[in-house]
Amino acid sequence: QVQLVESGGGLVQPGGSLRLSCAASGIIFRISNMGWYRQVPGKQREWVASITGGGSTNYADSVKSRFTIFRDNAVNTVYLQMNSLKPEDTAVYYCSVVGTPYWGQGTQVTVSS
């Protein structure tokens, strides 16, 4: 029943910006803790950022000061604003509802010249 649809990925140059979106359904979005994660082939999925229903945020050290997670409860969407992108940010980005086994299909972010 839970559905998460990520979008906004693409190819950007180092130093560029990208905004990812995750549209959620099948949950009580307003009170759900949401998170962004990323995965590179051959590596474990990595937590990037999270936001509680009340708007409290946390970030991985690798993205702190560069990425911002925020949400719009009116449209059941959580966003990840990515600035000052680096090649090491290249990955498939996924969103999830904390405490559930449900994930979206992912969106590819490639940072390269």
Strand-strand pairing, 18-25 and 3-7: antiparallel
**Dihedral in degrees, nearest 10, Cα atoms 3, 73, 95, 16:** 130
CA atoms of 5 and 23, how far apart (whole Å): 5
Pairing of strands 77-82, 91-97: unpaired
- Other C-beta atoms within 10 Å of 36: how many? 26
In this prediction, residue 1 carries a pLDDT of 84
Contact present, 46 and 58 (Cβ < 8 Å) = no
pLDDT in tens, 4-33: 999 999 999 999 999 999 999 999 999 999
**What's the confidence (pLDDT) of residue 99?**
84
Predicted local confidence at residue 12, as pLDDT? 98
Q: Which pLDDT score, from 0 to 100, does residue 104 have?
A: 94
**What pLDDT, in 10s, does the model give residues 70-113?**
999 999 999 999 999 999 999 999 999 998 889 999 999 999 99
